Amino acid sequence: MNVVRVTRTGEREARPHSKAPLVKLAERIVHSHDQEALRELHNHRTPFRLRADRPMTFVEFVTALSETTWALRVCGCDRSALELAQDRTIDQFSLLPDNRTEETHRGDGADCRHYFSRFLRTLKASGQNDNLDHSLQQEARAAWALQRLVVTQFRLSCLEARRSCNPARSRYAWHLESGTLYVWMPASFSGHKRRSWLEDNVDAPDPSRPDERYRVQAIIDAYFGVARQFSFTSGAGAVADVSSTNDPLAAAIAAESTGYELAHVLAEKKADKIDQQRFAIRALGKDRLKTLILSIFGALANGHYVESQLAQAFGLSKATLSRFAGSRWRLSARVPDLWRNCAASVANDGPLVEAAEEAGVWMQIRSILRNSGDASAGAIDDA
């Protein structure tokens, strides 16, 4: 039976999905192109939290996110870039194309099915809704996963907006047989040199692969760097801070930032000790090894870590990638190299230990370290 809501104008608004949980709404949006499910989620649900007692709609949450000092920093203290990032993020989760094709859009145009698909994949991969008896607990965990995804996409939108507002960079369309990838490259780098450089430095480009544009952009940024602009008159002090320990928004930002920073720390650490890696990993070279690690963490964050695809992209065998950063292993067996280093880095950082305890994974981290030969959880394994 449909629920009917009376609006301020006295009109009766039907809500056919008023009792559906977040996961069911996302499934309806992705698989049935359901505009009513999308309207229900954005207009009537408040799964996002600024503070423990402040439920928010999606647009309210993105607006609050854009008012944080963290967001302004990620945008290079450029308020024009911040506005673009806010609009882009809202489009990513709100626009549902008129066509009814089931294939998720992977071009530059926004299609919310792509992002809600990622949300569903993340829940499925983590199994965090499995074996939960209470529907409210399921809904709370789904809401947290969606909030984390929105924060992740907002950060990526900030980086993209900063590139677009940077006069030292310009957009380049890399035309391939399987499609086109749009990336940002140094403006001083001429067109014909761009294609040659990309062909020499990007392994197995595939526009149909999820988030391929972000992978290629990471390779470009790792090589050329990204110019940052700072302003002493940006008014950053007037932007809301999110340092409260009782602030789910701050927690989501901290988790996203921590994961991003941890990936870069591990990438640098592995590259610095490349002579200690396995032969196939050493053969990548420092720059490509760093790009591989960032690609792995990016794929995990997006809920789409497919070892065979990543191995092919970097010219590795699947067995080699599994030994380095496999997704299927048991605590009683040998832990892949990257996860041993990751566990050691977490164990040596107080705030990360607290986060791991709250997430319920601290005991697994200790088990990884014991399996790796560390006598204590605080020892760092730099192998």
For residues 313 and 346, membership in a common domain is answered with: yes
Is-contact 58 158, C-beta < 8 A? no
- Alpha helices of 179-247 — where are they, by DSSP H? 191-201, 212-224
For residues 22 and 154, membership in a common domain is answered with: yes
Radius of gyration of the chain (CA): 22
Is-contact 274 282, C-beta < 8 A? yes
Read off the tokens for 298: 């990016």
pLDDT in tens, the chain (383 residues): 344 344 455 555 678 888 899 999 999 999 999 999 999 999 999 999 876 668 899 999 999 889 888 888 888 788 888 999 999 999 999 999 875 444 444 445 679 999 999 899 888 766 554 544 457 778 888 998 899 899 988 988 988 888 888 777 888 999 998 889 988 888 888 778 899 999 888 878 888 876 788 778 877 876 776 544 333 333 333 344 444 445 566 666 666 666 666 677 778 888 888 888 889 999 988 888 888 888 787 666 555 677 887 888 788 898 898 888 887 766 556 778 888 888 877 777 665 666 555 445 566 677 777 776 654 434 333 33
For residues 101 and 175, membership in a common domain is answered with: no
For residues 204 and 343, membership in a common domain is answered with: no
For residues 262 and 322, membership in a common domain is answered with: yes
Nearest one of 336, 356, 353, 344 to 293, comparing CA atoms: 336
The pTM score is 0.59
Is 34 part of a structural domain of the chain?
yes
- Give the residue from 117, 148, 164 where a domain finishes: 164
Start-to-end CA span in the chain (Å): 60
Question: Nearest 5°: CA angle at 69, between 168 and 78?
Answer: 25
- Give the residue from 125, 143, 164 where a domain finishes: 164
Is 376 part of a structural domain of the chain?
no
Overall domain count for the chain: 3
For residues 288 and 349, membership in a common domain is answered with: yes
For residues 190 and 282, membership in a common domain is answered with: no
For residues 209 and 269, membership in a common domain is answered with: no
Read off the tokens for 365: 């981290």
Is 68 part of a structural domain of the chain?
yes
Is 152 part of a structural domain of the chain?
yes
For residues 52 and 84, membership in a common domain is answered with: yes
Is 95 part of a structural domain of the chain?
yes
pLDDT score for 351 = 58
Domain with 212 in it: 169-224
φ and ψ of 188, to 5 deg: -80, -10
For residues 316 and 273, membership in a common domain is answered with: yes
- Give the residue from 164, 185, 211 where a domain finishes: 164
pLDDT score for 11 = 59
Is 353 part of a structural domain of the chain?
yes
Q: What is the dihedral of CA 46, 47, 52, 55, to 10 degrees?
A: -10
pLDDT score for 263 = 73
For residues 131 and 67, membership in a common domain is answered with: yes
Question: What does DSSP say about strands 179-186 and 54-56: parallel, antiparallel, or unpaired?
Answer: unpaired
Is-contact 201 183, C-beta < 8 A? no
For residues 159 and 174, membership in a common domain is answered with: no
Is 234 part of a structural domain of the chain?
no
pLDDT score for 15 = 85
Is 379 part of a structural domain of the chain?
no
pLDDT score for 376 = 40
Is-contact 281 383, C-beta < 8 A? no
